[in-house]
Structure 1
């Protein structure tokens, strides 16, 4: 079946169809898109005509789905990277090193790459900066610089850049890192994950102390020798080397673990990465050390590491679906896997790279990440229930087949084209991951080498799964079988149409509408599954994945805090490389419900409750004769003169204090015209009534291309406008329009340390930043909109 649903056509046209600069289509049909990709990736072959045909056949009917960057960029002549995943170079612990890294990040994101960074290499807040005789502001303060940069960079096409920030669980600033995003205005362009080590988990389970430390340079070590009250320990750090470290603080490991769990329970961040397991299972254990991942976590990479992605669509390999004879066509599956590995290997030689270091790293190791999509739909078509033992066994066997065949194909490519340059054959076959594979694989590598250092990864596939006729995404269970979505019609208008899951639509086609009204019990969705079902599937697949997996464990809102923590312990003890959960609540929002009657009623109740909380818009208010207000001073290094911001308030009909107008005064006339314009616009918005809190986010996100500055106390401001937004935020908090997140966060930290569990919160639907509908949900470590297709991760 080729492009049968309207949503697939829309996604193809919006994201993957090659068009001229004026919007004129170059690809007339999706077949033209497949031909363009196949031709581009076969161009370097000795027999391009033969391989173009093979590549086209694999792409046809969505059997193999290259990542979106490959689909949209291959054969277009555009200067974009075809790689999805980057981890940037190690950040040097100096101003020069920090801003060199910011520059490299900007160049990478400009070409469309998502990036990951380990911030553990930056000295903690309060540490001495001897060269300038001051104290360090700490890594979190500098993360705001990256965040501001990211806000201004639009990736290729319509996708914004995404970033992953990691920090070791023994860094002195780890507590601030864990809680920083509890303020919704901070680090909005980052996903955050804590690097969890085995010694830390051992300390948690033993209820032992845990030391927060930072490495010392040889000169710093000399300076502290013999100094009273300075404790030194040795610790393996981000580059895999052992350093003498100064102990800054000692905490109970379980308190730190509970702080991580509490933040994740309430705010869905930070994620957890079991970094020692990642390095222990790394095929290149002898050549690199990993301390960060790409934004969604499926690609742990070394400094300047790069990896490209692609997925096998498992729904296309089920024979006789929904029958007693339903089975997997293993022969066809193996053939497509072999062709896919060759295609992805060719991408390495045809892609642009933002930085020379990334090109060198990619060509030295030739990482690829072949994964799967449509797993849940495949299981449904086989009549198996996601997470049940038979389904887990099927997933195990299918992933083993894909991985073994991918390694065979890479060995054959090494015979033909040569092994990856960084290969040490004897050390490579000692990899703990390769110990799981048949002996023939290790013998083949010893004899012939292997073309690619890594071959498998399960990535988020939300958009390409929609493009492929809305198959289930990645290894995730089906989110919902039917829902309504806005569709852009050829005349430019919109229509609301039903979008249905591929397996559901196929079942209805084969069995009839009446059968589809009473689905068999193996039609399960993500919110009806127990956490164990999610984790058992992740764990069994991880055994065959040499990189990692992007997976979200959906949890019920009313799960207890202790049960929530046990999810992470279960993941750790079942050899997962990381764990990400999503529990709907008043902060994270709730996933949308299906068209089930009871769920529709619940959705209406929530919508009504939310509506009652909103201050409705009203005609423009007349100014009262007397208003009360407050004046705030802004002093920046940009000017010798301070700004004075005055906000006046009125009392509304419900007796609530609301902002009415704003004035900004300064002796600096350089900003006069835009300040007058800004105050008039903001005042008009205030007087119109309604929810004005959006102003804080909008103003705070403004980035000055000349550079920002640090406020007193070390907080980074990306621009003067952002500073004005910060003042408005403070004022709205002071009059009760916005919550005081800092006080709530301090109280929550006290509760966690004291061992209290987190209270239950009422849920609400989350508003999409693109279309405004209450359709934003969380899956595959990414925010997505079921209504308009928006995705933070592309």
Structure 2
């Protein structure tokens, strides 16, 4: 009798017979099954190969007599049909099967059909052949002279030799073109962390972790780490589509084009992307993908995309970076007449990092429910039905990833008369508590916390209690620990602060028209109501010293981080839409200033940001490139309005009526570095002015040209635009209403604004509002630049967000220090010790200390003055964080008065100097620098206010100020 192995001698090529031949797959018919071979190539599924293999197995056991041949033929035909039907039932629309899965199914079907002997011999053969294959593979590989031979455990549980040659290829690609990085350093350390029997998936993890620990010594290792991470991403996505089990960066030059059609098809089947994307010429778009742009990412940027942006199915990311950008571009071009050309234009802009759409647009463009807008502004009416209707609107808008700004000023104050019940009101605070809890209960699309900001005008009777909403003491039923708050401050109040006069608080039901008034009209009516109160005609009111209320506002801001201070009059007096309504609040991040009306209009902001650093060429702003970028960006933003999914009907009505957009900037600090300009300098202020003038000019021009192509927005007539009054001109309106003694704003200009004014008057505008500078926290991480208009936080620190902890080193600084021979291990150690500051490191020259001063080393006056220069060009506002070292009452008073006096519309977070510091115990260990716990949300490297000076009682014993979302807070991204 033959041995078991001999019995299967005729089946020596069974495994090769089952899809063993054929060329790699290049194109697949719709619904076709595909097979991944062991070498990673993919071939079409061919049932005849299964039949041939099983026939050989049967004949080897039963012989080749005529009777046996007849039975074998019938049995094999039946079993092959069953196997094929099984896979088609599992994947009715087509899919990818590994060769091992087919062989497992052959074994199973043989056992179920009663063919135990054939099945037994088949199993023995598979085991023996797997052993011989492993031996052959090991023998074919020459031992690596530098590293020991190790085995890895594959996903199917089998063992195979570690492919060190491929590791070398991947690391070599990752280091290509980068100065200061060493392939051998990465391989040596990664191999020390591997062991015999390590899981194959952990090999990439070892490489990534090794490279990221070197970032603090050389910033280019951040690019290396990202490229090593790309190897994992490619394997995950490409194997999902059956294109390949793995690929190098060089392979992606061809594989991207192959993968895009498969991605669109599968994404539609899984109901993850819109079926309308199938109407594009996918071959044309696939060929437009630029694989080398994968090399632009830092580790933080790529990991952020992977963790939070790429579309996934059962936790498998099915997008790669260039496919991700193309999906967003296709979604934005979906209604264009020449949609392929526009999609490619949009893709090239996004993937170049010259411009980036906001987070909701990146999340949802091209999906079944394209909620692309960033923030929604509402006004809450003064009746119970309307209040809870507004809270329901909050819930619906939050569900689909919108950030919210609520105007609560109309709601009557505590103790105000209620005619319908002959009772007294409980005031606005209990309703704010409900709004707070709604934001917690209904988060943003299941992806991040609900984010809402409540606004209240400074004359409201409940304002003093409003100031205390974020305190950690007092009645918790009258606290909103999860909601942002902001003061909506009229100029009349600020004048009384300056003049040290009294201020009167009212309930809005007694003074209903104050809510819609601003400028001189507000002051006149407000003084009228004060006379009415003095005469006893208004019963519910309170008189306070304006300066005392101002100090309490600043004290609560210092203690709790809230309420932020925003200014009602400049937002309205400079609004292009004064004829169409009133700006009653800003948004979640204080950069949007749009009209709202209770029960009628919910304002919507549609955001994107220009990467200013990408437009500095040869040390100066490239005007031609900037104009091209702005023109395309304006078109993309305008498209958002028509494509957007609206969860609430009134938001759609408002957005289509006025068509507002908000084009902003990011990477301002990087742009300064490129020009060798210190943030604390007149040159930086001048650059803030000239760069924003250019953005403003090109943005207004682009919107006007779009109006000529597509038509003016419907409420254009009567707007400031229609009168030839541009943002730079509206400063005069503010000055006339406020009085020249209360404002100081530079009004110089360099562009040909006269010609543009006439063009706008004649041609119109496509958008009621065009510019706003958002925080850009997350999208600036993706593009690898500093957030928004922020100064550098620290030159070396650990950044924590939902994607983990990342060592951040200022690459510009390292480049300069290397050029002067000053970058070494001692310098790294010193930067850790001094928390990223250069000021106390003696061997660093003064010019570098000035250029690389960190946020708390920049005097607030420079931040405010630069913001003032930008504000004169912007029709909306800017998300402006204020950094104050050694904060006390006097510094806060001066800074916020200066902000109002300089014509700013809004301010955002107050950042006080950190008490939390880099953990010194990690110095010289080579580990990632750990950070002691502290700051809001427990985020690392969190600045908290130092203890206030004892002589300033209003700021004593302050709690840590929460982090600004424009720096670290991953929960606040609606405007980013």
Q: Same fold (TM over 0.5)?
A: yes
Q: Does 1:195 align with 2:488?
A: yes
Structure 1 position 108, deviation (Å): 0.8
* Aligned residue number for residue 41 of structure 1: 332
- 1:510–1:103 distance in 2 versus 1, CA, 3 Å: farther
**Local SS of the residue matching 2:578:** coil
* Aligned residue number for residue 823 of structure 2: 514
Structure 1 position 607, deviation (Å): 5.4
Q: Does 1:433 align with 2:706?
A: no
Match of 2:611 among 292, 313, 323: 313
* Aligned residue number for residue 28 of structure 2: none
* Aligned residue number for residue 378 of structure 1: 671
Q: Does 1:356 align with 2:670?
A: no
* Aligned residue number for residue 857 of structure 2: 528
Which deviates more, 241-250 or 544-553? 241-250
Checking the alignment, whether the CA contact within 8 Å between 2:364 and 2:372 is kept in structure 1 is yes
Structure 1 position 82, deviation (Å): 0.8
- 1:430–1:251 distance in 2 versus 1, CA, 3 Å: farther
Structure 1 position 302, deviation (Å): 2.0
Structure 1 position 426, deviation (Å): 6.6
Q: Which has the higher strand share?
A: 1
Structure number with the bigger relative contact order (C-alpha 8 A, sep ≥ 6) is 1
Match of 2:366 among 75, 85, 106: 75
- 1:592–1:562 distance in 2 versus 1, CA, 3 Å: same
Match of 2:441 among 144, 152, 158: 152
Paired residues for 1:666-745 under 5 Å: none
* Aligned residue number for residue 562 of structure 1: 890
Structure 1 position 605, deviation (Å): 14
**Local SS of the residue matching 1:310:** strand
Q: Does 1:482 align with 2:666?
A: no
Checking the alignment, whether the CA contact within 8 Å between 1:37 and 1:74 is kept in structure 2 is yes
Match of 1:180 among 469, 472, 481: 469
Checking the alignment, whether the CA contact within 8 Å between 1:307 and 1:367 is kept in structure 2 is yes
- Counterpart CA distance in 2 for 1:84 and 1:337 is 19
**Local SS of the residue matching 1:466:** helix
* Aligned residue number for residue 199 of structure 2: none
- Counterpart CA distance in 1 for 2:920 and 2:904 is 34
- Counterpart CA distance in 1 for 2:706 and 2:920 is 49
* Aligned residue number for residue 176 of structure 2: none
* Structure having the higher Rg: 2
Aligned residues: 604
- 1:86–1:432 distance in 2 versus 1, CA, 3 Å: same
- 1:203–1:66 distance in 2 versus 1, CA, 3 Å: same
Q: Does 1:472 align with 2:786?
A: yes
**Local SS of the residue matching 1:251:** strand
* Aligned residue number for residue 457 of structure 1: 772
Residues 129-172 of structure 1 show CA distances to partners (whole Å, capped at 9, x for unaligned) of 22223211000111001111111112125211111111111111
Structure 1 position 401, deviation (Å): 0.6
Checking the alignment, whether the CA contact within 8 Å between 2:577 and 2:719 is kept in structure 1 is no
Structure 1 position 80, deviation (Å): 4.7
Match of 1:60 among 336, 342, 351: 351
Paired residues for 1:387-466 under 5 Å: 387-424=680-717, 427-428=720-721, 429=723, 431=725, 433=727, 435=729, 438-466=753-781
- 1:83–1:596 distance in 2 versus 1, CA, 3 Å: farther
TM-score, length-scaled by structure 1: 0.70
* Aligned residue number for residue 142 of structure 1: 431
Structure 1 position 183, deviation (Å): 2.7
- Counterpart CA distance in 1 for 2:817 and 2:308 is 29
- Counterpart CA distance in 2 for 1:543 and 1:566 is 21
- 1:169–1:10 distance in 2 versus 1, CA, 3 Å: same
Match of 1:758 among 933, 939, 954: 954
- Counterpart CA distance in 1 for 2:546 and 2:678 is 38
Residues 492-516 of structure 1 show CA distances to partners (whole Å, capped at 9, x for unaligned) of xx8x653334544665788887388
Residues 107-137 of structure 1 show CA distances to partners (whole Å, capped at 9, x for unaligned) of 1111111111111111110112222232110
- Counterpart CA distance in 2 for 1:199 and 1:426 is 25
Structure 1 position 481, deviation (Å): 2.3
Checking the alignment, whether the CA contact within 8 Å between 1:34 and 1:60 is kept in structure 2 is yes
Structure 1 position 473, deviation (Å): 0.3
Q: Does 1:103 align with 2:392?
A: yes
Checking the alignment, whether the CA contact within 8 Å between 2:707 and 2:764 is kept in structure 1 is yes
- Counterpart CA distance in 2 for 1:91 and 1:583 is 30
- Counterpart CA distance in 2 for 1:143 and 1:398 is 40
Checking the alignment, whether the CA contact within 8 Å between 1:214 and 1:248 is kept in structure 2 is yes
Checking the alignment, whether the CA contact within 8 Å between 1:309 and 1:368 is kept in structure 2 is yes
**Local SS of the residue matching 2:487:** strand
Checking the alignment, whether the CA contact within 8 Å between 1:590 and 1:763 is kept in structure 2 is no
Checking the alignment, whether the CA contact within 8 Å between 1:483 and 1:594 is kept in structure 2 is no
Structure 1 position 287, deviation (Å): 0.9
- 1:790–1:39 distance in 2 versus 1, CA, 3 Å: same
Checking the alignment, whether the CA contact within 8 Å between 2:349 and 2:355 is kept in structure 1 is yes
* Aligned residue number for residue 640 of structure 2: 347
Residues 167-198 of structure 1 show CA distances to partners (whole Å, capped at 9, x for unaligned) of 11111111111122123662122211111111
Match of 1:278 among 553, 561, 571: 571
Q: Does 1:778 align with 2:963?
A: yes
Checking the alignment, whether the CA contact within 8 Å between 2:786 and 2:792 is kept in structure 1 is yes
- Counterpart CA distance in 1 for 2:719 and 2:770 is 19
- Counterpart CA distance in 2 for 1:418 and 1:594 is 58
- 1:282–1:332 distance in 2 versus 1, CA, 3 Å: same
Checking the alignment, whether the CA contact within 8 Å between 1:783 and 1:792 is kept in structure 2 is no
Structure 1 position 103, deviation (Å): 1.0
Structure 1 position 583, deviation (Å): 4.6
- Counterpart CA distance in 2 for 1:595 and 1:467 is 29
* Aligned residue number for residue 656 of structure 1: none
- 1:328–1:432 distance in 2 versus 1, CA, 3 Å: closer
- Provide the alpha-carbon RMSD of the alignment: 3.5
**Local SS of the residue matching 1:177:** helix
Structure 1: gaps of 5 or more residues: 218-232, 321-325, 612-693, 698-747, 767-776
Paired residues for 1:623-642 under 5 Å: none
TM-score, length-scaled by structure 2: 0.58
Structure 1 position 211, deviation (Å): 1.2
Q: Does 1:540 align with 2:854?
A: no
**Local SS of the residue matching 1:82:** coil
Residues 511-546 of structure 1 show CA distances to partners (whole Å, capped at 9, x for unaligned) of 887388758231121111111121112111111111
**Local SS of the residue matching 1:778:** coil
Checking the alignment, whether the CA contact within 8 Å between 2:370 and 2:643 is kept in structure 1 is no
- Counterpart CA distance in 2 for 1:307 and 1:596 is 46
**Local SS of the residue matching 1:286:** helix
